[in-house]
Amino acid sequence: MDTLMVDNIGKKYSGRWIFRNLSCRVEKGVHTAILGKNGAGKSTLLKIISGYITPNEGSIMVAGKLIDPAIVAFNAPYIDFPEEMTLRELTDFYFSFKKLIPATRPETVFDECGLLFSMSHRLNSFSSGMKQKVKLSLSFLTSAEIYLFDEPSSHLDDQSVKWFRSRISTISKEAFVFIGSNSEITETTSCSFSIKLS
């Protein structure tokens, strides 16, 4: 079984260490919660796992190789998208560079979360909760080896949180799943392993 190895990583900004000497081993198929108070480095760790930023020390590897961002689906409230696009245009654009899960129709997932009838609407008309459901839906539709969710319930109402919790259970057992969370009860019910940052 493939393993994701976190080997003595550390990250600092402006001379201050956010975290240091962090090591763990995560097995494929395991949902991992990344926990800690605000400013502990949860988002930073997710960005390092994604391959979009590099640590100052140490490394993260899967099967002995550095992570290629092409195999990652990364979801976070602070990720922006072109708001002048309609939802259908964004979906077509997104899957021009990401791989859609085979035999999956985007309309099915958008219908589940109540966005199907907004496909022709521009994203700048969406509420913050609708935008978060768009980001989550695109991640759930992506064929990836690593799924990263940073505070996935941000801006979601109770019904949408239930949809997220149901949908995350459908992610392939051949993938790694990480959830950065300030709300363990709401967001990390699927997780059987945790990384705690202080």
154-167: pLDDT as tens digits: 999 999 999 999 99
Q: What are phi and psi of 55, to 5 degrees?
A: -75, 160
Residue 2 pLDDT more than 90? no
Domain 3-196 carries which CATH code?
3.40.50.300
Calculate the alpha carbon distances from 84 to 58, 80, 158 in Å.
40, 12, 28
In the chain, DSSP finds a helix count (H) and a strand count (E) of 6, 9
Q: What is the rounded CA–CA span in Å between residue 93 and residue 21?
A: 39
Using DSSP bridges, classify how beta strands 65-66 and 16-27 pair: parallel, antiparallel or unpaired.
unpaired
Q: What is the mean pLDDT of residues 66-89?
A: 94
Residue 1 pLDDT more than 70? no
Per the model's pLDDT, the better-predicted residue between 184 and 131 turns out to be 131
Q: How confident is residue 109, by pLDDT bands cut at 50, 70 and 90?
A: very high
Question: Chain-wide mean pLDDT for the chain?
Answer: 95
How far from each other are the two terminal CA atoms of the chain, in whole angstroms? 30
Calculate the alpha carbon distances from 78 to 30, 74, 107, 152, 155 in Å.
25, 11, 24, 11, 12
What pLDDT, on the 0 to 100 scale, is given for residue 182?
Answer: 86
